[in-house]
Structure 1
Amino acid sequence: MTMQQTPLLMHRLMDRGAMLQPDVEVMTATADGARSQTMLETRNRAHQLAHALNDAGIEIGDRVATFMWNGARHLEAYHAVACMGAVIHTLNIRLSPVDLEYIINHAQDKIIIVDADVLPALEKLAGKMPSVEKIVVAAEPGFENWETSLPNAIDYEDFIKGKPTKYQWPEIDENSAMGLCYTSGTTGKPKGVMYTHRANYLHTIAIAMTDVMGLSATDTLLGIVPMFHANAWGLPWVACMLGMKQVYPHRFMVPDHLARMITDYDVTISAGVPTIWQGVKGLIEANPDKYKFSALTRLTCGGSAPPPSLIEWFWDALGVEMVQGWGMTETSPLATISRRTSKRKHLEMGDADRAANQAKAGLPIPGLEIEIFDDEWNTLPHDGKAFGELLIRGPWICSEYFNNPQPDKFHDGWLITGDVAKIDPEGYIIITDRSKDLIKSGGEWISSVDLENHIAGMAAVGQACVVAHPHPRWDERPVALIIKKADVELTPEQVIAHCESKFAKWQLPDDVLFVDSIPLTATGKMDKKVVRAQLEADGYKLPDQR
């Protein structure tokens, strides 16, 4: 053995930026601007938080949950919890109470750090979180006088007050858990993906590479991708590693506020789903002289494929490259990347051809293997024509779900992604369909089967089918088709009200259609491909598009 066997632990990366660039700012949006602290202050506060958590009984491997917007305190939690050997469990603030209750109890969270403005959503679970011993409330300006019915609640600043600014990070196995994120992208209960130090360390370094996101210490990041969603695509970890200036929008996620932050704080890179950038595009088109994106050079877009027209508009109008990434919660999450110029031969391409390439899911990030397989697990040619089940493997790819065996999701060391894809001769991944009938709305998954099963539980419903229908802003929205039982009354409003008892507002069907029959396959299953095709052929439009 000729090399030191230093464990790949996140504390070796997370303290680095503050050491090399202590005066660089970390900013959190407020109603009238932003509050600022330095990288060194952020690092010191993270160490204080680690001491406070340790004093509260948090040990190596314990789960500490966050229920927060993107902001400096959420960043401190990322830093503290992971580096002290505990597990940072990011709770999605958009989930329904039913899913939140299941996730918190399945993870056995011991402490939850919550933003004061979203306390009401967590209070719905009062008395239903037996493992939770303490609630730590982070209050941004305007919410300092928070109150809650939840027991054992303490203000974040009081929690860390007086704690030492140096915590001795433990030397643990690099395969120890450091992060937990649940995905509700398939049927049934949400599944937990447990990230290890080794996996996150390698992913963090890989996505900073020039041919991936091309990040450096001179960048200013506007972190729009939620920190509760798949590690915010890994950007907070990279930003702390490099010492990048960071700007976080907190709850101010409207296009006007985002555009002002890009303008006012000289943002060079940001990341978000296509609906975010479509909103910003519309804002700029309506106010061409109001915003000046003079420092912005690139946007990372993921969650769903951006249309080539959006990619071209940002380049033609602003000279901003839209970098597309593809991945899943199970892939930490970034797995492929598509840049304006990903290969030397692309230097000779015209803008339209480059935009078409950028609209593909992209090339595998170094370190990962991606293949397409037929129904008998034979590999298929990379000819841009053959399509099959997309599988992936590598050092930051999930190998099992947390306390939830799902052998049908894995094959011979590969993760089965649930996507159907082609691979072209240049190695680009092109997603063509989904092997499951999931609905992707605004970058978030909605399970059509879960909606169907819930609707079918209504006494007046004979059969229910939920399909995705294209939407210009949200990419897709759910539409429910229902066969009513004979001689009963049922209204669309009753169906929606029934769904509201289990699902979050953004998961509800946009429309309810009563039909006489639903097409079936030869094996008696609902043929959703035919349903979607019939809606399109009939010229169907969603209610907000009529």
Structure 2
Amino acid sequence: MYHEANQANDASDENEDAQSAYAYPLLIKRLLHTPMAHAREQEIVYRGKVRISYAQLQERIARLANGLERLGVKHGTTVAVMDWDSHRYLECYFAIPMMGAVLQTVNIRLSQAEIAYTIDHARAEVVLVHTDFLPVLEAIREKLPRVHTLVLIDDEGNVTPPPGLEFADEYERLLASSGTQFDFPDFDENTRATTFYTTGTTGLPKGVYFSHRQLVLHTITVMAALTSPEDGQRVHRGDVYMPLTPMFHVHAWGMPYIATLMGLKQVYPGRYVPDRIVELIREEAVTYSHCVGTILHMMLSCPQAKTADFSKWKVVIGGGALPNGLARAALERGIDIFTGYGMSETCPVLTLAQLMPSREPRTLDEEVSLRCRTGLPIPLVDLRIVDEEMRDVPHDGLASGEVVVRAPWLTQGYLHNPEASKVLWEGGYLHTQDVARIGTDGYLQITDRIKDVIKSGGEWVSSLDVESLISQHPAVAEVAVIGIKSEKWGERPAAVVVLHPECAMPVSAEDIRTHVMQFVETGKISKYAVPEIVKFVDAIEKTSVGKLNKKWLRENFD
């Protein structure tokens, strides 16, 4: 009787919600509640020249919304932004989606034709553009028939736009003439908030998009993951944050939203100039950043870095594998370096290579090995490695399969591209096209992209593994490994190598092959992994977001 009575009470309780109860949709505007309660005077810095408080940020967000509304932006309007990393971009991260409009973050490193395609394909109607990109906009203006309004972003305040471009206003003037209060409405949390375009190596860029709900859940979950470690590889309220991943690329990995929610001091560097970035780290006491490995390598190689103190700097490396050589060099400089993994389609964070507590001190080799692994899934991520039939492969550190995932913040498809969306989500899981293995300890290790795996003599050779081994040669600054055609073996590895500028001793291709052979002899890698060709170059071609451009290398290798 007692059990039956409780069941009846439970059933009746389902209909007893107060009519005045507030459902609290997960909207981006919610991320501002906490910092406005306890961090109103905290600083946001742009290039060391502009400083605003969080209280001013809130006012400027309202001013921007009022100004854009006056220019015709309404719920559903797509607003494209072409700017360097700045406080203005942060304001756009909030104001535009909080209006119910869609923020398009334009990849300004694409070709002019690709930039025109992405703006038009996203159906943007308003473009905010920095003066540095006026030549690009002038060249593509006729290819943007949907765009009816331009707003100029002028750092110096003295640029005269080309005669072919008509601007409705300049960004700071627009804000100055607008009110400091805006009634940001409630709406469905599944409303699209942002869109941007992947930098795929084949075909036209693909548009991915994210809702308010997805961005809020990504923000909260990644924050939980980053704040949870006992010591190291973590973020806390005393940190000073500076992104070194462009704000046009996957919301700078979502970190500006996290930093704002936590009320951190934020530093935005503008255009990436290595010496200036090192100065900002020193002058603003920056303690947390994220970037691709090539950016960190570029920074550590600049003159200012030689005497810089990086002992309080934590850096997440993503967008590609963290080579052992770079990790070792960073640790020796005192940098708390570790890997993060995700992709444009995943908002992006899926895993972090944070160290688990250990009673025994680790050697440098052990530290390097753990920090270079792809990491453990963050909360709410359902991550599998599967064969071609979508069957799980063993988590024994040996078996490989494709990484497929589910999480509440993954893009639900490609914008206006149902066929590609179907392929992306085949079988109800998002397909990453990454090949990986999972160890008995649960750590994921990406071994390659499906398209970059080298098939040699019946064996699969991981280009990432070979790159990591070559990077450990003391003379090697940077390396890319690709597969080249071989009549006998199908494919053979070829290495493209950049040597350290201060390398005094001559280094030959045979020296690199001998270096790799030592790992063959210890059983760490197959003999098929020894590169048949080693090519020395001054620089390695990169994609628009700083990744090694292996498609270009394969097409232009001779």
Which amino acid is 1:365 matched to? I
Q: For 1:28 and 1:168, locate their aligned partners in 2 and report how far apart those are by CA, in whole Å.
A: 27
Q: For 1:175 and 1:520, locate their aligned partners in 2 and report how far apart those are by CA, in whole Å.
A: 53
Moved more, 305-314 or 125-134: 305-314
Displacement of 1:205 in angstroms is 1.0
Displacement of 1:267 in angstroms is 0.9
The counterpart of 2:431, out of the listed 400, 407, 416, is: 416
- Which residue in the other structure is 1:325 paired with? 340
- Which residue in the other structure is 2:376 paired with? 363
The counterpart of 2:367, out of the listed 332, 354, 379, is: 354
Equivalent residues in 2 for 1:249-328, closer than 5 Å: 249-251=269-271, 253-283=272-302, 287-288=306-307, 291-293=308-310, 296-318=312-334, 320-328=335-343
Describe the shift of the 1:46–1:145 C-alpha distance in structure 2 as closer, same or farther (beyond 3 A).
same
Q: Secondary structure at the match of 1:241?
A: helix
Displacement of 1:262 in angstroms is 0.6
CA contact (8 A) 1:15 1:240 kept: no
Equivalent residues in 2 for 1:502-521, closer than 5 Å: 519=486
The counterpart of 1:211, out of the listed 219, 223, 228, is: 228
Describe the shift of the 1:355–1:539 C-alpha distance in structure 2 as closer, same or farther (beyond 3 A).
closer
Post-superposition Cα deviations, 1:288-339, rounded to whole Å, max 9, x if no partner, equal 3xx2346x24111111122223323333332x31121011010101111012
- Which residue in the other structure is 1:228 paired with? 248
Which amino acid is 1:384 matched to? G
Describe the shift of the 1:520–1:420 C-alpha distance in structure 2 as closer, same or farther (beyond 3 A).
farther
Q: For 2:539 and 2:167, locate their aligned partners in 1 and report how far apart those are by CA, in whole Å.
A: 44
The counterpart of 2:182, out of the listed 167, 190, 193, is: 167
- Which residue in the other structure is 1:12 paired with? 30
State whether structure 2 residue 391 is matched by structure 1 residue 391: no
CA contact (8 A) 2:314 2:336 kept: yes
Describe the shift of the 1:285–1:352 C-alpha distance in structure 2 as closer, same or farther (beyond 3 A).
farther
CA contact (8 A) 1:51 1:163 kept: yes
Post-superposition Cα deviations, 1:445-485, rounded to whole Å, max 9, x if no partner, equal xxxxxxxxxxxxxxxxxxxxxxxxx9966654999x9xxxx
Moved more, 362-371 or 143-152: 143-152
Moved more, 205-214 or 164-173: 205-214
Displacement of 1:282 in angstroms is 2.6
CA contact (8 A) 1:110 1:131 kept: yes
Q: For 1:235 and 1:417, locate their aligned partners in 2 and report how far apart those are by CA, in whole Å.
A: 22
Q: Secondary structure at the match of 1:195?
A: strand
CA contact (8 A) 1:65 1:90 kept: yes
CA contact (8 A) 1:179 1:196 kept: yes
Describe the shift of the 1:164–1:286 C-alpha distance in structure 2 as closer, same or farther (beyond 3 A).
closer
CA contact (8 A) 2:452 2:482 kept: no
Describe the shift of the 1:101–1:328 C-alpha distance in structure 2 as closer, same or farther (beyond 3 A).
same
CA contact (8 A) 2:314 2:337 kept: yes
Q: How many residues align?
A: 464
* Backbone CA RMSD of aligned residues: 2.8
Which amino acid is 2:379 matched to? P
Describe the shift of the 1:15–1:85 C-alpha distance in structure 2 as closer, same or farther (beyond 3 A).
farther
- Which residue in the other structure is 2:531 paired with? 536
In structure 1, runs of 5+ residues without a counterpart are 440-469, 482-517
Post-superposition Cα deviations, 1:206-249, rounded to whole Å, max 9, x if no partner, equal 12222376333322111221000111011111121121111111
Equivalent residues in 2 for 1:74-89, closer than 5 Å: 74-89=89-104
State whether structure 2 residue 73 is matched by structure 1 residue 53: no
Q: Secondary structure at the match of 1:323?
A: strand
CA contact (8 A) 2:317 2:340 kept: yes
- Which residue in the other structure is 1:237 paired with? 257
- Which residue in the other structure is 1:40 paired with? 55
Describe the shift of the 1:528–1:43 C-alpha distance in structure 2 as closer, same or farther (beyond 3 A).
farther
Displacement of 1:34 in angstroms is 2.1
Q: For 1:155 and 1:478, locate their aligned partners in 2 and report how far apart those are by CA, in whole Å.
A: 47
**TM-score of the two chains, using structure 2 as the length reference:** 0.77
- Which residue in the other structure is 2:113 paired with? 98
Displacement of 1:20 in angstroms is 2.2
Q: For 1:8 and 1:281, locate their aligned partners in 2 and report how far apart those are by CA, in whole Å.
A: 40
Displacement of 1:40 in angstroms is 1.3
Displacement of 1:56 in angstroms is 1.4
Q: Secondary structure at the match of 1:287?
A: helix
Q: Secondary structure at the match of 1:125?
A: helix
Post-superposition Cα deviations, 1:226-285, rounded to whole Å, max 9, x if no partner, equal 00011101111112112111111101x222111110101111111111122212323479
Q: Secondary structure at the match of 2:96?
A: helix
Moved more, 363-372 or 305-314: 305-314
Displacement of 1:384 in angstroms is 0.8
CA contact (8 A) 1:116 1:146 kept: no
Equivalent residues in 2 for 1:373-522, closer than 5 Å: 373-405=386-418, 406=420, 407-437=422-452, 476=480, 519=486
- Which residue in the other structure is 2:505 paired with? none
- Which residue in the other structure is 1:248 paired with? 268
Displacement of 1:161 in angstroms is 2.4
